[in-house]
Amino acid sequence: MPFIPHTEEDVKEMLASIGASSIEELFDEIPSDLKTGALTRVPPGMSEMEISRLMLERAQADGFYLSFIGAGAYEHHIPAAVWQITTRGEFYSSYTPYQAEASQGTLQLLYEYQTMMASLTGMDVSNASLYDGATALAEAALMAVRQHKTSRRILVPRTVHPVYRKVLSAIVRNQDIEVVEIPFCPESGQVLLEHLEPFGQEDFAALVIPQPNFFGVLEQVDAMTDWAHAKHSSVIAAVNPMSLAMLVPPGEWGAQGADIAVGEGQPLGIPLSSGGPYFGFMTCKHDLVRQMPGRIIGRTVDLDNKPGFVLTLQAREQHIRRSKATSNICTNQGLMVTAATIYMSLLGPEGLRQVAAQSHANMLQLAEQLEQLPGVKRVYSGPCFHEVALTLPGPVNEILQALKEQGILGGLNLQEHYPELENALLVCTTETKTADDLNKYSEMLGKILKKYG
Amino acid sequence: MPFIPHTEEDVKEMLASIGASSIEELFDEIPSDLKTGALTRVPPGMSEMEISRLMLERAQADGFYLSFIGAGAYEHHIPAAVWQITTRGEFYSSYTPYQAEASQGTLQLLYEYQTMMASLTGMDVSNASLYDGATALAEAALMAVRQHKTSRRILVPRTVHPVYRKVLSAIVRNQDIEVVEIPFCPESGQVLLEHLEPFGQEDFAALVIPQPNFFGVLEQVDAMTDWAHAKHSSVIAAVNPMSLAMLVPPGEWGAQGADIAVGEGQPLGIPLSSGGPYFGFMTCKHDLVRQMPGRIIGRTVDLDNKPGFVLTLQAREQHIRRSKATSNICTNQGLMVTAATIYMSLLGPEGLRQVAAQSHANMLQLAEQLEQLPGVKRVYSGPCFHEVALTLPGPVNEILQALKEQGILGGLNLQEHYPELENALLVCTTETKTADDLNKYSEMLGKILKKYG
Amino acid sequence: MLIFEHSRPGRRNRSQFSTTTAEKKNIPQNLLRKSPMLLPEASEMDVVRHYTRLSQKNFSIDTEFYPLGSCTMKYNPRACNALAMLPQFLARHPLAPEDTGQGFLACMYELQEILKDVTGMAGVSLTPMAGAQGELIGVMMIRAYHEARGDKKRTEIIVPDAAHGTNPATAVMCGYKVVEIATDKEGNVDMAALKAAVGPQTAGLMLTNPSTLGVFEKNVSEMSRIVHDAGGLLYYDGANLNAVLGKVKPGDMGFDVIHINLHKTFSTPHGGGGPGAAPVGVAERLLPYLPVPMVAHEKGVYRWLTEKDVPHTIGRLSAHMGNAGVLLRAYVYVRLLGVKGMNRVSEYATLNANYLMAELSKAGFEIAFPTRRASHEFIVTLKDIKEKTGVTAMNLAKRLLDKGYHAPTTYFPILIPECLLIEPAETESKETLDAFTAAMKEILVEIQEQTEMVKSAPHDMPLRKLDDVRAARELDLTWKP
Amino acid sequence: MLIFEHSRPGRRNRSQFSTTTAEKKNIPQNLLRKSPMLLPEASEMDVVRHYTRLSQKNFSIDTEFYPLGSCTMKYNPRACNALAMLPQFLARHPLAPEDTGQGFLACMYELQEILKDVTGMAGVSLTPMAGAQGELIGVMMIRAYHEARGDKKRTEIIVPDAAHGTNPATAVMCGYKVVEIATDKEGNVDMAALKAAVGPQTAGLMLTNPSTLGVFEKNVSEMSRIVHDAGGLLYYDGANLNAVLGKVKPGDMGFDVIHINLHKTFSTPHGGGGPGAAPVGVAERLLPYLPVPMVAHEKGVYRWLTEKDVPHTIGRLSAHMGNAGVLLRAYVYVRLLGVKGMNRVSEYATLNANYLMAELSKAGFEIAFPTRRASHEFIVTLKDIKEKTGVTAMNLAKRLLDKGYHAPTTYFPILIPECLLIEPAETESKETLDAFTAAMKEILVEIQEQTEMVKSAPHDMPLRKLDDVRAARELDLTWKP
């Protein structure tokens, strides 16, 4: 019996102690008409050897590609130490640190994480993570609405990740919160004040500002932040944490800084893994801390006055407050945060700066090379971080298919999310791409585009 | 500076404490004419990201094959837990357990290992491992010579692994020990008493008995053991530990059992890894323990009478005895033994029996299928464990090449080591081979052999 | 010592640094960061040493017995971790084309099918990233169902008072009013209360079965009838599915929607508090509302189902498809167990719970529902002990830490005073349960003989009892240099 | 608790068991095992838990500072482990055709070339599996060289009295007589003794430089002249190569043969006592004798060199090609360090040693060779302390364990009474060295004020001092049920 240690003798002795004649008897309170018949779609058990081979074969079949896809999930180098430590049994198989004295490892790590994330985003406090970037944005919207007493409107530019907007809508819909889409400038790829103004006539709880936005373009965050604050609304920053090694952090946007910063933590040491598990981060100004969902760790002392760490502000949470909780969330993405904390510690500020700078430089280099191909040009004039939208001289899906046959995943077809963007491709470079990689991409694309010349 | 933590300020303060003006000054006792010029063949440093990509590309280039090669190194399934635990920093990065109080983890594990190996081989005691199977055989020969006062001859059948015989000769050569080769029966593939007799006229220190032998054939170990003992010589068993889940252990061979058992520990949870690191094991009868080379762990008590473990019998070792040591060896293969101990614990007696039984059954099945191909027949009539020597109707290297093009590594060309064995192939099956694998092999070989029909 | 205290200005971990300098840069000056980042400047060894040592300060399944009721802390097979982390799986971008991920998608598809079978549901979506999100999605589907039928008067969700706190919190997040109903003294939902609560305003009932009181709701079929007759739907909180896996299918009990905590029943790691994964399953009538993406298998090819395929979907609830790596681990687990293993999970979990309940009862502990079978968990109450000695459930819990056992769940469910909710899980051996019982007996003696010592436990942990009140009052949430 | 004590008859770890039954069997009855195997019958979780807990009882580089002289306990980069364990590398059979291992062979070839460069040698073989085997192979080549020239009168190997015990033990294993020569009071080999010992019977001299006394043999060039003039060869024990890596090439000092402990200088893991790896390098005249296999690179293809290519080889010293996986780790390490990193290793190792020597001297400890520069290690002697208080070097070593530091090497080299050989290695920070110095100072006070406490250390470890004498007298080497 896989993972079940009982010997026949054990079972006999245990049943004797219970006073039951069989294991089946222990289920005698279940009405017999409810008992399950045979499971028909669960295959017979496999040995570890058999499943290992199957999984290895499937992984082999999926293979490796030279990928230039970004769009919210980014391929960065992850130091080997990160996951060798993260998967140690003491982190991997431990429970939520409710018993603080038996969980100081996880608790201290989370406190360190909170410190790092607050500093990276330039905010005062951080929670211990949320599910992912998209749900973190939705939680931020709920938080802003709780804080803002009069409005349930959230302004969200169309330059925010399209799936994030879908998730946001799905989650807030049932709480009568209105998500208002803000258009953007088709030349620069940014939201300009002129796009905001029409929506500022009416009260709104928050403005979401993406940085960089979905097109990789940098928004004019200072002006946007000040505009929203002037309207007595909150600013929710939706940021790529890796970009913050290079860019002004949300806490310093405009005169007062954003109120809440959220985003996808995946770039900080989490493998792409077909989309998860990742983690959402959330930081905010101090006065919002009691509105923040999710777990929060605090430093305190023990009976001997020695410093230690505990889960704190639990009065916000569902297991205490039940229907009055700030959110129904009762987990964080602890193991992912473990990895991210080790990742940030291994890279340090200078390492993170280098990753960001190299990712950015590679994007500029690749864009330059690709723009030399006939018919290829940048869609937007705004400055970019490490992604760029390009117009191609032919149908994107067809071109991507041709690139894939050369082992290259060329990027994301933007038309999937923006019907108006015909033949537009979103291309990403991180520090993992070498000059050879960029050359390979531009050469291959050059060859393929001959057909459309 | 990779792995060097010093800041410029650290260096300044440290030099000030030393009273030196530069790091270079610390090398002032080295005559300047000895100082090295530039290193010309060491390439510039790479980042972890760069070397990771290079290694991944090289690993990919090497790829995976369906392998039927054995010949001393065997592909067995290794449970995932084995290496996840073995590579924990506390095992991976610890030193030899000289400080017993700070090394109880490693010491207890080694004591458990000694217990398992002694039982598996049916002997009284075990050391904590040697380099590999081949050197373990050489150490056993030296040990037998130390024990036997009058003879420095060792009888070694040609059915012993050819490379083991080479290593044995290379090591004992300088100590005026004579290695005498014993022929074998070309029909059965075994050493028969008639092959031994001519070499028993003169005194000899030990007879080596392989089980199974290099051809996969099982030797008549009882008769051989009794014969050697009758001549007042030691018996050194050279065994595959996995086979002992199925076969009579050396400690029970003949009337008295073998005196020393050695072998390659690789089948017990160690990956093939192009040949190493593996580990050699050595067990023996109690009265030989003080002749045994290598580390030995003993159970004792601490000042409070609590049980604990220490390195013991160190008086045999080079760091105490120097030129009078039993051997110059001062390491074992600690990490490999860690893996093997976890492996044996996870499989248990029944698991090990199943692996052995399945490996054996697969060999019989494959041999049966291959013998149905025209021109393919078993070379030897003796019973086999999980390897079998087959005669092919064409040149082995050419056929192996053709199989390789189909992703199959078909076995080892025996003629490399036995010039008289033309067109003979040594084929191995372990429990990792499925019926589909065996079919694939026999079908492919069938197709290839058409050419030679 | 915090990682920041290992930091020195200018210390560099060069092997993680680029060997070349990024030369191009084109970002307006006003957008460039000027303020420092409070990240450690430490050597690789110091980081490895720091976090390795930290890890050793944790209890975990790999080191201790964890009888945490309602959490199902069972062994997390190491093969699940190894196989989900095969390099190709880790490297795969979520937006990579489907034909570059057929191996991965095959695993997801098969997992969907297996979960449909064990839950008795018509459809499954793997998207939810945690139990609470599974609940949210489940209730959203209930709402979508009523709305699609134009049935707008249904404003209430009924929840038993023994339910997990997530149930009412979730209902509120979906815009519902929560109606709590009482539990009878045998641990069942009070049927009269249910009948009284149900009406045309009822959107649904959320139920955990076996309940958080560790007993099976015998009247579940009748409850189903009552709620359905009133036009409401039945939500199955899968927190305790481990207790009946392979024995009873929630679909057969009449449930319309279920979430399955893979980190409980399917043994994906808890990871110090996540990530989890909680696929949702639905009966026929809720199929149109399942969240996307899901995986379809057509003509030998696996592909994502999107909004185009499921036009009435409640939508997307994660940026991609949820916690794919967790799902892979669960997939490996179910394949290892196979069809027979499904049954064994609930059988041995139940055997362990009933045995431990019997032994603790014999040892002198008061069982909350002594006339009932335990499901995979049961409740001990220290009400009497507290009244007599002042020793609380939390004191006992802390004292257990000293003895090398993680504490059971304390003070939940809240309706049982001074309770310990104990769930041994099927992967623990009789010896471990016996040793735990022996430790509990020792504490019983200590409570009599060394009352103050027990009250001030723990004593043998790296730290003594921590001051929660101070933590909440003098908030210290980030380190300042 | 031993793993055997977690065992119960009939307990099965089924996920490791075949799901089918082996049906064929054809082995004579008399060859089949009848006796039981004393292996544990335990669940996977119990095994994982047992060995995880055991691991926590170890000191290790990943958790503690390890100033073990002559052992070079530096940080073992985790990337080396990860990359050597890529699935294809692990799966590759040693006898697989060369064209299925070009990636692996390329690494081996490049490692050979790099080691030739840093040692200044003409050829390198990667085969030896440990330092002691490297030595054995080195001396075997010396012997092969003399024998090939018909020079049979050379029967002696000269070894300084400060040498590692392996040196004389190895010489004896190669059939040589060992002649020990003395050390002068500055820690150098006594040149008069060397001259007196050298003669036509001299096969070679084995030397560690910097020596095990932590100082550089300044007269090494003269020693080389003396030995070579007498027809002997010079053997370099690479145990201390870390001290001069990139600074001095053994080949430039006149050495004919060297072994390089990769588990020291090249940071492959010690693994609780192995596996190591110790490639040998040789000067031109010993090239014909190098052990096979080695790797050649011809026309873009890597291939093994065998006996056919190196007809005078001393042969094979392992079943395959030595500890390939260890060599891969060393390869990754040298590529991470690169040419500049080679130099830095010796520079910062030397800086750390000299700093710690200065600080401990200021703290009141007696340095064995106070007038000399430390190499990467140095010696503290407790001779005076022992005379005054009875506290020994071993007492201090055990007390250091209580304070969270692994003990330095004690009682080696044996010619310095009550010695501690201290090697901090380059990967430790100034803060760690300062903290270690502080701990040493504390112990100095404790020696005065709490002498008996120090003598009975350790006190804060899982066990107190263990009885070695009883272990050797009442041999208990295997557990009996």
Please write the tens of the pLDDT for every residue from D377-425.
999 999 999 999 999 999 999 999 999 999 999 999 989 999 999 999 9
**Structure confidence by residue, pLDDT tens digits, D330-352:** 999 999 999 999 999 999 999 99
> Is there a contact between D52 and C62 if contact means CB atoms under 8 Å apart?
yes
Residues B294 and B233 in one domain: yes
* Separation CA B11–CA D229 (nearest Å): 43
> Is there a contact between C15 and B80 if contact means CB atoms under 8 Å apart?
no
Domain assignment present for B10: no
User: What is the count of structural domains for chain A?
Assistant: 2
Model confidence at D226, pLDDT cuts 50, 70, 90, reads very high
Domain boundary among B277, B309, B343: B343
Mutation site, B1, B7, B48, interface A, largest A CB count within 10 A: B48
Mutation site, D49, D65, D340, interface C, largest C CB count within 10 A: D49
- DSSP for A311-354, written as a single string: EE-GGGSHHHHGGGSS-S-----HHHHHHHHHHHHHHHHHHHHH
Q: What letter represents residue A287's amino acid?
A: D
Model confidence at A329, pLDDT cuts 50, 70, 90, reads confident
Domain assignment present for B91: yes
B63 interfacial to chain C (CB closer than 8 Å): no
Cis bond before residue C275 (omega within 30° of 0): yes
- Which residue, among A291, A261, A351, has the nearest Cα to A148 in the 3D structure? A291
B9 interfacial to chain C (CB closer than 8 Å): yes
Which residue intervals of C367-418 are DSSP H helices? Answer: 383-389, 393-402
The pLDDT, as a whole number, for residue A195 is 97
> Is there a contact between A52 and B80 if contact means CB atoms under 8 Å apart?
yes
Cα-Cα end-to-end distance for chain B: 64
Residues B186 and B110 in one domain: yes
Residues B219 and B296 in one domain: yes
> Is there a contact between B5 and C45 if contact means CB atoms under 8 Å apart?
yes
- Determine the residue of chain C that is closest to B45 in CA distance: C19
Which CATH number fits the domain that encloses residue B146?
Answer: 3.40.640.10
Residues A327 and A370 in one domain: no
Among candidates A3, A44, A90 on the partner chain, residue whose Cβ is nearest the Cβ of D43: A3
The pLDDT, as a whole number, for residue A185 is 98
Domain assignment present for A276: yes
Domain assignment present for B18: no
Residues 346-405, chain B, touching D (beta carbon < 8 A): 346-352, 354-355, 357-358, 360-362, 364-365, 383-385, 400, 404
- Indicate if the pLDDT at residue A322 is higher than 90: no
Domain assignment present for B373: yes
Residues B139 and B287 in one domain: yes
Neighbours of C107 (CB within 10 A): 28
Judging contacts by C-beta atoms under 8 Å, the chain D residues touching residue B39 are: 117-118, 246, 339, 342
Judging contacts by C-beta atoms under 8 Å, the chain C residues touching residue A73 are: 93-95, 319-320
Whole-model pTM: value is 0.98
| Of residues D237 and B319, more confidently modeled | D237
Among candidates A31, A109, A118 on the partner chain, residue whose Cβ is nearest the Cβ of C54: A109
Q: By residue range, what is the domain housing residue B339? A: 80-343
Cα-Cα end-to-end distance for chain C: 13
The pLDDT, as a whole number, for residue C450 is 98
Judging contacts by C-beta atoms under 8 Å, the chain D residues touching residue B336 are: 271, 274-275
Q: Name every residue whose Cβ is closer than 8 Å to that of residue B347 and which is 6 or more positions away in sequence.
A: B79, B355, D13, D16, D39
- Domains along chain C with CATH numbers: 79-337 (3.40.640.10), 345-456 (3.90.1150.10)
Chains that touch B (3 or more CB pairs under 8 A): A, C, D
Residues B319 and B394 in one domain: no
Residues B337 and B434 in one domain: no
- Which residue, among A88, A119, A101, A126, has the nearest Cα to A332 in the 3D structure? A126
pLDDT along chain B (453 residues), means of 10: 95 98 97 89 96 98 97 98 98 96 98 98 98 97 94 98 97 93 98 96 97 98 98 98 98 98 98 97 96 95 97 80 76 94 98 97 98 97 98 97 98 97 97 98 97 82
DSSP state of C5: G
- Indicate if the pLDDT at residue D326 is higher than 90: yes
CB contact at 8 A, D204 and D223: no
A264: left (phi over 0), alpha (psi -120 to 50) or beta: beta
Among candidates B47, B84, B89 on the partner chain, residue whose Cβ is nearest the Cβ of C15: B47
Residues A354 and A427 in one domain: yes
| Of residues B75 and A173, more confidently modeled | B75
- Which residue, among B344, B351, B360, has the nearest Cα to B118 in the 3D structure? B344
Cα-Cα end-to-end distance for chain D: 13
**Looking at residues A252-278, what average pLDDT do you find?**
98
Low-confidence ranges of chain C (pLDDT < 70): none
Residues 191-210, chain B, touching D (beta carbon < 8 A): none
Residues B308 and B443 in one domain: no
Cα-Cα end-to-end distance for chain A: 64
- Indicate if the pLDDT at residue D158 is higher than 90: yes
DSSP state of A189: S
Question: Number of CB pairs < 8 Å for C and D?
Answer: 62
**Structure confidence by residue, pLDDT tens digits, D38-78:** 999 999 999 999 999 999 999 999 999 999 999 999 999 99
Judging contacts by C-beta atoms under 8 Å, the chain A residues touching residue C30 are: 222, 248
The alpha-carbon gap from B25 to the nearest alpha carbon of chain C, in Å, equals 23
Among candidates A1, A44, A49 on the partner chain, residue whose Cβ is nearest the Cβ of D14: A1
Chains that touch C (3 or more CB pairs under 8 A): A, B, D
- Determine the residue of chain B that is closest to A85 in CA distance: B88
Among candidates D16, D52, D82 on the partner chain, residue whose Cβ is nearest the Cβ of A80: D82
Domain assignment present for A410: yes
**Structure confidence by residue, pLDDT tens digits, D83-116:** 999 999 999 999 999 999 999 999 999 999 999 9
Mutation site, B345, B363, B387, B413, interface D, largest D CB count within 10 A: B345
Domain boundary among B294, B321, B343: B343
- Which residue, among B74, B78, B90, B34, has the nearest Cα to B240 in the 3D structure? B74
Chains that touch A (3 or more CB pairs under 8 A): B, C, D
The pLDDT, as a whole number, for residue C20 is 86
Among candidates A64, A77, A84 on the partner chain, residue whose Cβ is nearest the Cβ of B49: A77
Mutation site, D3, D8, D17, D45, interface C, largest C CB count within 10 A: D45
> Is there a contact between D319 and B331 if contact means CB atoms under 8 Å apart?
no
Q: Which of A217-226, C76-85, D17-26, D278-287 has the lowest mean pLDDT?
A: D17-26
Structure tokens at A90: 């003491």
Judging contacts by C-beta atoms under 8 Å, the chain A residues touching residue D14 are: 1-4, 45, 47
Which CATH number fits the domain that encloses residue A380?
Answer: 3.90.1150.10
**Structure confidence by residue, pLDDT tens digits, A21-79:** 999 999 999 999 999 878 999 999 999 999 999 999 999 999 999 999 999 999 999 99
Neighbours of A405 (CB within 10 A): 10
**Looking at residues A169-174, what average pLDDT do you find?**
92
* Separation CA A220–CA C438 (nearest Å): 66
Judging contacts by C-beta atoms under 8 Å, the chain A residues touching residue D46 are: 5
Judging contacts by C-beta atoms under 8 Å, the chain D residues touching residue C62 are: 48-49, 52
The pLDDT, as a whole number, for residue D18 is 87
Residues A331 and A242 in one domain: yes
A271 interfacial to chain B (CB closer than 8 Å): no
Domain assignment present for A22: no
The pLDDT, as a whole number, for residue A247 is 98
Question: Number of CB pairs < 8 Å for B and C?
Answer: 61
Residues B375 and B262 in one domain: no
Domain assignment present for B20: no
* Separation CA D17–CA D169 (nearest Å): 46
Judging contacts by C-beta atoms under 8 Å, the chain B residues touching residue D289 are: none
Residues A118 and A256 in one domain: yes
- Indicate if the pLDDT at residue A453 is higher than 90: no
- Indicate if the pLDDT at residue A327 is higher than 90: no
> Is there a contact between C52 and B89 if contact means CB atoms under 8 Å apart?
yes
The pLDDT, as a whole number, for residue B326 is 76
The pLDDT, as a whole number, for residue C18 is 87
Domain boundary among A318, A343, A368: A343
